[in-house]
Amino acid sequence: MRSIEKPNPADQKLAKATFEVIRNERGNYRTKRKSRITLHFKETNTSAQLPEHAIPLIEEMLKLMAEGKAFSIVPTDSALSSQEAADILQVSRPHMVHLMEEGKIPHYKVGSHRRVLQEDLVAYQRDLKKSREDNLALIAKQAQEDSLDY
């Protein structure tokens, strides 16, 4: 796991400007049906193309930096401790352990320590979000049927 500390104001400003350039260039490439952005390094007069799938990730990192937020980069096949997983979900470690023990989040043990795969945590978050959206849609539908003007 690679953590990026909270950026200083100068880095925030630079990240915002870079984000806007990449977003604009990406829009231009979509209309021209190109799939890559080329970076040019003045100091060495070299260029490199960004893979299409890397661009949204770079945009997201720059957006977070522009907002002054710290963040972490975690490969999807990484094994996380219960505390690391709890931090990602923004819940307590005991609640995380409870979710694992209930079978809501797959895990395994290394000795007495629980580990959860990053991809399983992402799947849990995705399922939780879908469940919430479905429940909100159901409540809205019931409110309309009962003429509650929501």
Question: Could you report the per-residue pLDDT of 7-25, keeping only the tens digit for each?
Answer: 999 999 999 999 998 888 7
Percent of the chain topping pLDDT 90: 61
pLDDT given at position 55:
87
Q: Specify the residue for token string 């990026």.
A: 4
35 and 65 together in one domain:
yes
Amino acid at 41: F
Q: Of 73, 94, 114, which one is at a domain's C-terminal end?
A: 73
Instruction: Specify if 149 maps to a domain.
Output: no
pLDDT, average across residues 105-114: 95
Yes or no: say if 81 and 19 are a contact pair by the CB < 8 Å rule.
no
Is residue 136 in some structural domain?
Answer: yes
Overall domain count for the chain: 2
Asked if residue 32 has pLDDT above 60, the reply is no
Decide which of 41, 73, 105 is a domain's last residue.
Answer: 73
Whether the per-residue pLDDT at 29 is higher than 60: the answer is: no
What is residue 28's predicted lDDT score, i.e. its pLDDT?
60
Report which of 84, 79, 66 is spatially closest to residue 6, judged by C-alpha positions.
66
| Whole-number average pLDDT of the chain | 88
Question: Does residue 2 carry a pLDDT above 80?
Answer: no
68 and 101 in one domain?
no
Same domain, 68 and 83: no
Q: Which domain range does residue 67 map to? A: 2-73
Query: What average pLDDT does the segment 100-118 reach?
Result: 95
Of 43, 73, 103, which marks where a domain is finished? 73
What CATH number does the domain containing 124 carry? Answer: 1.10.1660
Burial class (CB in 10 A: 0-12, 13-18, 19+), 62: buried
Confidence at residue 78, expressed as pLDDT on a 0 to 100 scale: 87
Which tens digits make up the pLDDT trace of 34-86?
Answer: 557 888 899 999 999 888 888 888 999 999 999 999 888 878 788 999 999 99
User: Residue 150: inside a domain, yes or no?
Assistant: no
Assigned domain for 114 exists: yes
pLDDT at 149: 63
